[in-house]
Structure 1
Amino acid sequence: MSMLAGPRVRHTVVFALRHPAGSAEEASFLEALATLAEIDGVEELQVAREVSPKNEYTHAVAMEFADEQAYRTYDADPRHQGFVTERWDAEVSAFLEVDTVALEG
């Protein structure tokens, strides 16, 4: 079964930064992360801070896509790839990515 079209995709990543909370470096990273909303296909981008002490992650980013093709287009976009290479890989110490579609029924 092909997943190239179909239900909406919710892309969520929880992560921890190498930067201290409240630092200029943290703010710079989060501002740069928010600019991913400018990429075609990204809907409802939200950057958030974790409030539960139950895990090691300190932040989250979530966004939605019309379907899997829109998500794949975003994933391959040079702006997304550049952010991952230039910022994410160097500044994120741990993360968990979850990409989901709603169950029918």
Structure 2
Amino acid sequence: MNAKSTALAGLACLLTGCTTMRNSTTTEKPMIVHSVFFKLKHDKGSQAEAGFLAQAAELSGIPGVENFQTLKETSPKNNFDFGLSMEFADQAAYDGYNTHPDHVRFVQEVWLKEVVEFQEIDYVPIAD
């Protein structure tokens, strides 16, 4: 990795809370990082908020999900309160997650009813 790529990868790790950086110049396929940042309709610190986060954490048990993290926003630069970040080994693992019945149920029965605003981003390291 050159200095610019290393800096960009480090910034991506800071933003997603990852604990290790992968060298994208190896023969290993780059991981897909899936992140979503959101604001709930619930009062901060409420039991409803805690319940949502507990249900979201159950997504970590879906096959293919790696390095799952529940994140709390600390910056005043945006309107979001929380984030979820996870990694997938490849597109097949990511697609399996998206279509998994537990994920589909969570989106339909929980996410759509309790999230008022969100931003989703999926990304991979830039190869040199």
TM-score, with length taken from structure 1? 0.93
Give, in angstroms, the shift of residue 68 of structure 1.
1.1
Greater fraction helix: 2
Which whole-Å CA distance do the structure 2 matches of 1:42 and 1:64 have between them?
6
Q: Amino acid of the residue matched to residue 67 of structure 1?
A: D
Question: Of 52, 67, 83, which residue of structure 2 is paired with 1:44?
Answer: 67
CA distance in 1, matches of 2:108, 2:114: 10
Runs of 4+ in 1 over 3 A off after TM superposition: none
Matching residue of 1:3: none
- 1:49-73: per-residue Cα shift (whole Å, max 9, x none)? 1011110100000000001110011
CA RMSD across the alignment: 0.7
Max Rg structure: 2
User: How many residues end up aligned between the 2 structures?
Assistant: 100
Question: Which of 30, 39, 44 matches 1:21?
Answer: 44
Q: Structure 1: which 5+ runs fail to align?
A: 1-5
Match of 2:117 in 1: 94
Task: Find the aligned partners of 1:99 and 1:71 in 2 and give their Cα distance.
Answer: 10
SS of equivalent to 2:35: strand
Identity, in percent, stands at: 44
Q: Distance in 2 between matches of 1:48 and 1:36?
A: 14
Return the structure number with greater strand share: 1
